Amino acid sequence: MNSLDLALVGNGSIGALIDAQGAIAWCCFPRFDGDPVFCSLLAGDSPRGKPGAFTIELEGLVRTEQQYLPNTPILVTRCYDAKGGGVEITDFCPRYEKDAELICPELLVRQVRPIVGRPNIRVRVDPATDYGCAKRQHALGGGHISYAGEQALRLTTNAPTEAIVDRTLFHVHETITLMFGLDDPITGDVTSAGATMLERTTAYWRNWARSLQTPSEWRDAVIRAAITLELNVYEPTGAIIPAMTTSIPEAPNTARTWDYRYCWPRDAYFTADALSRLGETRTIERYLAFLLDVAAKTVDAHLVPIYTIDGGPIPTEHVAKCLPGYRGMGPVHVGNKASEQAQHDLYGEAVLTAAPLFLNSRPSQAGDESLLAKLERFGEHAARLYEVPDAGLWELRGAERVHTYSSIMCWAACDRLAKYADRLALANRAEYWRSLATSIHEVVSRRSWSVKLNAFTATMDGDSLDASLLLMPRLGFLEAKDPRFAGTVAAIEKQLKHGDFVYRYVERDDFGYPENAFLVCTFWYIEALAAMGGKRREEARVLFEKVLAARNPHGLLAEDLDPRTLEQWGNFPQTYCMAGVIDCALGLTETASN
């Protein structure tokens, strides 16, 4: 079994990863980038006995089966023992509307009910603190257990609390409800409260899924991807994270272990854009408000590569010394040094984020002159930086170069600002930005084109390739049928495609040579083939089915994939990849109708 055969439950305030036996493998409190209170995922090969566990163990367990309730992030795990007994565990985080307000408490609800025989279970709740360095002291109360710490926590339950503390078996003869969250009392009967929350949460997600404009083909895959993306949107602020985890390595025994629990404007754009393409515009409106807010706090709307989910600076990168790492493959990082880099593509993605507000008719808040003025500040940065070296979207730590993708994104900022101004009938502003876009396009077309390779290169005046160049038609920089794009695709196929999967690059970087495929690049390749049409579209369709087959049993994808074994690696679940599912399904549907 793949170690990343995990399911994600959440509600926009917290998120938890659950393994095939129904254990909470990873969960941070009281927010996505908080201290992991349940952290067995990174506790090495022998997590038993270490702090950071939340398990429900059926005595004599012989098999389990697991699935999401359709069109929800509510997970059901059924466990069976050798004597024919069994229990059903339902895991969810409440999310529902009440009095026109979206309710998303920092609360994990676990329901256990007997389904056959006379099952006995043992419940272990051992929340950690300080990234697994210490267990929290507990205190028993009436129907609850409190856990001390900088952020006090509480388990409220109708199960015998003494048995939980002593980790002894007890018989399940009725539904057991376990509510874990902040140290606040739960009013009323816990089982009734849990049942009501489950009913409302189920209804909320099914209504949300029905509101999406999904293709008829691959509908289930698209809905699962959309739900997963929505779970990575931090409801209190609108920030979007790339993944719930830190430091799952990109490949076995590599030093490439990074903390992804923060907001990258680049990744956030791809997530918000994918949801917007399905008609879910609330996310893009709220994320854009977050981005404009952090920019407004600077003198000149300067953006940095990474923010905390409340818009502040992230922690200085350091190692969590008490966590051995995924399968013992550390180090486990907190914070991310890439926050200190120059990444000039950010301004393009910031401007592109607003496209649905200006160019579509669906959003509740259409773009206006005030919004355009704020976005133009990003455009001025883009126009100034398009030929200035940076770390690029792959966040290379060794040296800065003029990355073609960054330059194209700077062009995209100016190009879209011209289109937004056109939509608002601001002829002078449109002409100003169109002129800048034309100038940048000419420079990139000249300096990033290699006659020798018959392809665009990763950097200006360079000779290496980069899979992000596959996005040129999507960004509008080139038509998909342009011979220069065909040449670029052919060069990428020759150098970066290994079997069915595309690597982001193959040259040596700060940590050696990449070992696994960066999965989103394969999605970009599928999109490119679909846009090229003809036989290439059929190739795209076949490859898309292969990539979908590589998802875990819950329809989720990590950041990286071993092209030989199809084992998933990297932080999980990765929003880039889940957005890729949506973008490819829509791209193949659109090209089929043309």
Instruction: State yes or no: pLDDT of 500 exceeds 70.
Output: yes
Instruction: State yes or no: pLDDT of 14 exceeds 80.
Output: yes
Least confident of 46-55, 102-111, 178-187, 340-349: 46-55
Least confident of 114-128, 203-217, 504-518, 558-572: 504-518
**Could you count the other beta carbons within 10 Å of the beta carbon of residue 142?**
7
Q: Integer distance in angstroms from the first to the last C-alpha of the chain? A: 41
pLDDT (mean) for 349-374:
86
* Cis before 30 (ω within 30): yes
- Phi then psi for 250, rounded to 5 degrees? -70, -20
pLDDT (mean) for 41-62:
88
Percentage of residues of the chain with pLDDT beyond 70? 96
pLDDT at 365: 66
- The whole-angstrom separation of Cα 289 and Cα 64 is 44
**CA angle, residues 154, 159, 162, in degrees to nearest 5:** 75
pLDDT at 47: 64
Six-digit token string for 56: 């429900």
Instruction: State yes or no: pLDDT of 248 exceeds 90.
Output: yes
pLDDT (mean) for 15-40:
97
pLDDT at 84: 87
- The whole-angstrom separation of Cα 323 and Cα 325 is 5
pLDDT at 35: 96
Give the pLDDT band of residue 93 (cuts 50, 70, 90).
very high
Instruction: State yes or no: pLDDT of 358 exceeds 80.
Output: yes
* Long-range pairs, 531-534, Cβ under 8 A, ≥24: 531/473, 531/474, 531/480, 531/587, 531/591, 532/480, 532/481, 532/485, 532/486, 532/489, 533/480, 533/481, 533/591, 533/594
Strand partners, 27: 16, 38
pLDDT (mean) for 473-494:
97
Q: Are 7 and 65 in contact (CB under 8 A)?
A: no
pLDDT at 3: 76
- The whole-angstrom separation of Cα 47 and Cα 480 is 50
pLDDT (mean) for 16-23:
97
Give the pLDDT band of residue 467 (cuts 50, 70, 90).
very high
pLDDT at 1: 42
Q: Is pLDDT larger for residue 485 or for residue 498?
A: 485
Q: Are 315 and 334 in contact (CB under 8 A)?
A: yes
Tell me the pLDDT tens digit for each residue of 114-166. 999 999 999 999 999 999 999 999 999 999 999 999 999 999 999 999 999 99
- The whole-angstrom separation of Cα 136 and Cα 148 is 6
pLDDT at 27: 98
pLDDT (mean) for 300-305:
96
3-class DSSP assignment, residue 507: coil
- The whole-angstrom separation of Cα 130 and Cα 150 is 10
CA 250 to chain centroid: 15
pLDDT at 276: 96
- Sort strands 134-135 and 120-126 into parallel, antiparallel or unpaired: unpaired
CA 220 to chain centroid: 18
Tell me the pLDDT tens digit for each residue of 200-227. 999 999 999 999 999 999 999 999 999 9
pLDDT at 361: 60
Q: Are 459 and 505 in contact (CB under 8 A)?
A: no
Mean pLDDT over all residues of the chain? 94
- The whole-angstrom separation of Cα 243 and Cα 262 is 8
